[in-house]
């Protein structure tokens, strides 16, 4: 089955568009705040040279998005689909971050719901790697209904391995959760 892991996705207030090389400065403006990365596995991503590696990995994934406020076109952050596994019919969602202005506004939940609604047309399972100490993201995964399936060392693009909590959502569980709301 052929499908894009980088479609344009949107709801009434948020738009996800494919990340392009020309988006670096706009996205770095959001990423250059050290607070954004305080719970992430690599707390140095606010530095231009470290973020450049992150951004290069995003482009090479061919599944990265710029997350925008649909009305103002303001950059809120970034997320991506990556590591499509045709054998397991699964994909990962991650490398997500938002500027502090977006925190506590349900943006991550809405973005993940758009992504999951889209990708579950094509895969049976979505996996998330969350930095072990990223309490905010662990809570977000639980709120989304993802199942904690353990921990593993994960090597992020161009970075050393870090311990992560692994979450999954299976298509049948997502359908049940959607029907309950």
Q: Give the model confidence (pLDDT) of 119-140 as tens digits.
A: 999 999 999 999 998 998 999 9
Fold of 9-180: Aminopeptidase (3.40.630)
Q: In the structure, what pLDDT confidence band is assigned to residue 155 with cuts at 50, 70 and 90?
A: confident
**Percent helix, strand and coil across the chain, each to the nearest 5:** 35, 35, 30
* In the predicted structure, residue 181 carries a pLDDT above the cut 70: no
**Global confidence as pTM:** 0.94
Vertex 54: Cα angle to 110 and 23 (nearest 5): 70
Checking phi first, is residue 57 left (phi over 0); if not, alpha (psi -120 to 50) or beta? alpha
Residue range 51-92, pLDDT digits in tens:
999 999 999 999 999 999 999 999 999 999 999 999 999 999
pLDDT given at position 179: 73
- Smallest CA-to-CA distance from 91 within 155, 177, 5 is with 5
Order the strands of the 161-170 sheet from edge to edge.
9-10, 14-18, 64-69, 75-85, 90-98, 125-131, 161-170, 147-155
% of the chain at pLDDT higher than 90: 84
- pLDDT of residue 1 exceeding 90: no
């Amino acid at each position: 089955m052929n499908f894009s892991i980088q479609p344009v996705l949107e709801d009434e207030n948020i738009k996800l568009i494919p990340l392009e090389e020309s988006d670096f400065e706009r996205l770095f403006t959001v990423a250059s705040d050290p607070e954004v990365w305080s719970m992430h596995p690599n707390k140095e991503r606010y530095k231009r040279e470290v973020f450049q590696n992150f951004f290069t990995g995003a482009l090479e994934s061919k599944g990265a998005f710029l997350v925008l406020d649909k009305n103002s076109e303001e950059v809120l952050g970034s997320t991506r689909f990556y590591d499509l596994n045709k054998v397991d019919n699964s994909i990962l969602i991650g490398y997500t971050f938002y500027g502090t202005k977006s925190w506590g506004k349900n943006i991550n939940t809405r973005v993940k719901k758009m992504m999951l609604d889209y990708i579950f047309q094509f895969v049976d399972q979505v996996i998330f790697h969350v930095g072990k100490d990223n309490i905010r993201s662990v809570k977000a995964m639980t709120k989304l209904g993802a199942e904690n399936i353990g921990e593993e060392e994960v090597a992020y693009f161009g970075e050393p391995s870090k311990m992560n909590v692994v979450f999954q959502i299976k298509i049948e569980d997502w359908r049940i959760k959607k029907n309950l709301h």
